[in-house]
Structure 1
Amino acid sequence: MSSPNSGGEREKLVSKLPAHLQQALKVRAAQLQIDMQDAVTNGIQAWRNCSDDLPTVNTAGADSFGTYLPEGLYEDFKVDCRERGVSYIQGLAQSVVLWLADNPAGVQRTTRRIVVCNQKGGVGKTAVSAGLAQAFAEDPSVVGAAADAAVGGLRVLLVDYDPQGHLTHQLGLTAIPAGEESLITHMLHREQAKQPLLDLTVVISGDRFGGRLRILPAAFDAFLLDSGLTMFRGPREATLERALAPLEEHFDVIVVDSPPSLGLAMDAALNYGRQRDDEKPGSSGLVIPVEAEDTSAQAYGMLIQQIDSLSRDYDLAIEQLGLVVNKFDSRRGYIATSSLEKWKSLGSPPVLAVVPDVKEQREAVRKQRPLLDYAPDCEQAHRMRQIARGVKTA
């Protein structure tokens, strides 16, 4: 299987590995449809983050083994081996054993689908979508703060599902012009599509992401999506899933930045984020940005009505993974503070994070750079990682 990871800068790891581990790694990666280089990368990252004393692996008779790692990871790995007093061969063997244990055979890997939504405009859906995706893709080894427990290293696709295209523009890209092949083509006129949707995705630059983060840009045609769905012959609520399904094998997480709408396009997004039959609870669902003020609560109520209606009509389990209270500023007084307490008092869905209204996000947008690349240590960046941790453990 090919992987977007292969598009990032990589360097060759040359070491040795027992033949039985090489065979187990090859078979398990094939079973789970994962590139071996990604499996070894994830194993090494897990080994570097593991504070437990790991059992020694018998490496007698180890054979030559080579793969490619994200640039810089091999050197960091060798430094860790020296500090732990183990050979590179032993460290690699322990990493592979860890990966095999964390990725058992017979477990079907399901791509997590996270839909960031709220029909109210201006609550920060785009900022939360981008920040969450960046936190999932970020190299865990570069996150220094102890509070930011590693959640990254995943292959992530950002889908700009909003015809306004703010997400696309903020990352320095251009929306796909009307009439050209796009996500909308694959939703409404799949038989006319001439290229795989994966070919339309673009790698988001940033050393912290290692080629793991991609975006499917917005399409101007999306302004007509609701009317196109009205005339669509077939299950309209399944159109987004049908379009994105071929992409899922290439990504661990797909994050959808939804439009401020309660129309048919939103029905398709909600359906895409539902819990599938082979999926455990908390794997996929909705992240809902809100603000600490009254109109945001009213908009949330309308979204809940749509979720309930769609769930009843089609017998779906659509899980709210959590709320994000965005652009919070306690200096706004009683309305802000009391509204925040009301959001927290809901209990379910939980408040994943309270994101302050500070300048770094606006600066990153102006410079058309990912927030976690532009200001990785700012308060907002830490809150994005907090959201990712909350979603990961939901």
Structure 2
Amino acid sequence: MSSPATSSDREKVVSKLPGWLRQNLKVRAAQHGVDIQDAVQQGIADWCRLASGPEIIDTSGADPFSTFLPEGQWDQFRSVAADRGVSLIQGLAQSVQVWLDTNPATDVPRPGITRRIIMCNQKGGVGKTTVTEGVSEALAEDPDQLYPVGVPHQLTKLLHDGGPIDEDHPQQVEHEPGGGLRVLMVDFDPQCHLTNQLGVEKLPLEGDSLTKHLAGEPKGDLKDLIVSIEDDHYQGRLHLLPGCIDGFLLDVRLSTVRAREAALDRALAPLENDYDIIVVDCPPSLGLTMDAAIHYARRRDGESPGRSGVVIVVQAEDSSADAYDLLTDQIESLRTDLALTIDYLGIVVNLYDGRRGYIATSSLEGWVAVGDPRVIGLIPDLKEQREAVRANRTLLSYAPKCQQSVSMRAIAREIS
């Protein structure tokens, strides 16, 4: 049946669709950037023009489905369905399938140059590891499923409008396909927080490690150390290069290495062809280790701006601002001394809790006021991340709809 719509040129149509077909329609429409009602409209038009009806579709268990169609299209559809001797539900299902067949799933675009992102801050405890994990998971999620994503720039809009940030109020979300990228997380911190957080064993001190490859003393192939994060959401696309505590000695060992700033480039180069993006969880350091990470994130010849670079993770408190100044001074020194182009991808304000009062709220406003780099994400201080670690689960699979997961996906979209 149909009923008048608010628009003068469309009418509301109510019918039924099987749940699986409705889900396929939602995902495919999102992949193509098409409104669902436009997809259904095109599918019905194409179905009506067919010389004969397509294959019968199993519509058992169909649920109510409504959309808006141009005036007169539903009447034409009913007439064609009657001529073909099929029910309206069957005809609608066939129409949707016609549109799906005409608009196949889009391929995930692969970068010509493997992208490199470093998560960094000289200050420890700001949550670099948490952001590394969450953003990497979002980049690797299933491209044939829809996930809740925070609306971009919502934080900035709220601050510019003068409204308060209410972390207890669910942020506005859109549902978008997963990133579908092949992602390698690199635990570059000798404290091995990322490795531990994902429930993976640290590399043994006497064995091979990233540190040994950086120092020019490898004991094997770095690929052999990589661990796949097994979860249906990632389908083999999310991997980890685990950490080893021998990283505590890395600054000393790098001091004797030729072209030490490029040590991480040399170590990770053999892995790059297997991944679309490599995300490095950096240690809280201003030493040679950090120099190597910053150099790795530089813009390479032929690479577009903003594809690789630095994400700075901070908290809404004063000590993060001091550490930020030290880190950006180091980045600027490398830019000048080595003539590098290093892109700032943005600032992430982590573990935000407005209940801490003026220090938190004023610091948040201060980060937004930086402007360049801009704030690309606000992650609330909630329990789900800690629960996921305790359960040895990834955050986005443990609590896919929590505000932290929604925020991680928003950051991933900002940098992808």
Give the TM-score band, short-chain normalised. 0.7 to 0.9
Task: Give TM-score scaled by structure 1 length.
Answer: 0.75
Mapped contact 2:207–2:219 kept (Cα < 8 A): no
1:194 pairs with 2:206: no
Aligned residues: 315
Number of the residue aligned with 1:64: none
1:49 to 24, 31, 45: 31
The residue correspondences of 1:276-315 to structure 2 (distance < 5 A) are: 276-315=300-339
* Cα distance in 2, alignment partners of residues 189 and 114 from structure 1: 23
Secondary structure of 2:174's counterpart equals: coil
2:138 paired residue number: 135
Pairwise CA distance, 1:85: 3.0
CA–CA separation in structure 2 for the residues paired with 1:332 and 1:378 = 21
Offset at residue 205 of structure 1 (A): 1.8
Secondary structure in 2 matching 1:322:
strand
TM-score, normalization: structure 2?
A: 0.71
Q: Distance in 2 between matches of 1:144 and 1:228?
A: 44
Shift of 1:143: 2.9
SS of residue matched to 1:352: strand
Mark the CA change 1:235 to 1:292 in structure 2 (over 3 Å): closer, same or farther. same
Shift of 1:179: 2.2
**Which residue does 2:185 correspond to in 1?**
158
The answer as to 2:362 corresponding to 1:338 is yes
2:382 is aligned, of 355, 358, 361, to 358
The alpha-carbon deviation at position 207 of structure 1 amounts to 1.4
DSSP 3-state at the match of 1:215: strand
Contact 1:160 1:215 in 2 (8 A): yes
| DSSP-derived class of the 2:204 partner | coil
- After the TM superposition, which of the residue ranges 220-229 and 178-187 deviates more from structure 2? 178-187
Measure, in 1, the Cα distance between the counterparts of 2:99 and 2:350: 47
Equivalent residue for 1:85, pick from 97, 108, 121: 97
Aligned to 1:238: 262
Separation in 1, partners of 2:269, 2:107: 26
Q: Secondary structure at the match of 1:132?
A: helix
The one-letter amino acid paired with 1:367 is A
State the 1:138 CA deviation: 0.8
The amino acid of 2:387's aligned partner reads E
1:95 to 104, 108, 125: 104
Query: Do the aligned residues in 1 keep the contact of 2:139 with 2:412 (CA within 8 Å)?
Result: yes
State the partner residue of 2:253.
228
Residue identity in the other structure for 1:219: C
Local SS of the residue matching 2:176: coil
Report the AA paired with residue 135 of structure 1. Answer: A
Residue 353 of structure 2 is aligned to residue 326 of structure 1 = no
Alpha-carbon distance between aligned partners in 1 of 2:93 and 2:183, rounded to the nearest angstrom: 29
Q: Which secondary structure state, in structure 2, belongs to the residue aligned with residue 113 of structure 1? A: strand
Match of 1:176 in 2: 203
- Cα gap change, 1:82/1:225 in structure 2, threshold over 3 Å: closer, same or farther? farther
Q: In structure 2, do the counterparts of structure 1 residues 154 and 121 end up closer, same or farther at CA, with 3 Å as the change threshold?
A: same
Q: Is the 8 A contact 2:146 2:178 kept in 1?
A: no
Pair 1:204-2:213 in alignment: no
Per the TM alignment, residue 95 of structure 1 is displaced from its structure 2 partner at its CA by 3.4
Cα 1:176–1:83 change in 2 (3 A) is farther
Residues in 2 aligned to 1:134 and 1:81: alpha-carbon distance in whole angstroms: 34
Structure 1 position 221, deviation (Å)? 1.3
Deviation of residue 194 (structure 1)?
A: 2.6
| Cα distance in 2 for residues equivalent to 1:112 and 1:84 | 37
- CA RMSD in angstroms, aligned pairs only: 2.5
Q: Give distance in 2, aligned partners of 1:272 and 1:280.
A: 15
Following TM superposition, by how much is the alpha carbon of 1:367 offset from its aligned partner in structure 2, in angstroms?
Answer: 1.4
Deviation digits for residues 160-213 of structure 1 (CA, Å, limit 9, x no counterpart): 0000001101111111111211111221125x4432x12211001221111110
Residue of structure 2 equivalent to 1:29: none
Once the two structures are superposed, the pairs formed by residues 113-152 of structure 1 within 5 Å of their partners are 113-145=116-148, 147-152=174-179
CA, structure 1 residues 288+82, in 2 after alignment: closer, same or farther (shift >3 Å)? Answer: farther
Match of 1:251 in 2: 275
Inter-CA distance 308–141: structure 2 relative to 1 (3 Å threshold): same
Give, in whole Å, the separation in 2 of the partners of 1:379 and 1:142: 19
150-159 vs 249-258, greater mean Cα deviation: 150-159
The corresponding residue for 2:66 is: none
Q: Distance in 1 between matches of 2:339 and 2:266?
A: 18
Larger radius of gyration: 2
Shift of 1:293: 0.7
- 1:47 CA drift (Å): 7.1
Distance 1:126 1:47 in 2: 34
Cα distance between partner residues in 2 of 1:324 and 1:189: 34
1:167 counterpart letter in structure 2: L
* Whole-angstrom CA distance in 2 between matches of 1:262 and 1:243: 20
Cα separation, partners in 2 of 1:218 and 1:87, compared to 1, 3 Å: same
SS at match of 1:388: helix
Letter of the structure 2 residue corresponding to residue 143 of structure 1: L
Percent of aligned positions that are identical: 50
Deviation digits for residues 337-389 of structure 1 (CA, Å, limit 9, x no counterpart): 00000100111111111110000011111112110011111100000001101
- Between the aligned partners of 1:175 and 1:187, the Cα distance in structure 2 is 18
- Which residue identity lines up with residue 213 of structure 2 in the other structure? H
How many angstroms apart in 2 are the aligned matches of 1:340 and 1:385? 20
Q: For the Cα contact (< 8 Å) 1:325–1:355, is it kept in 2?
A: yes
1:274 match: 298
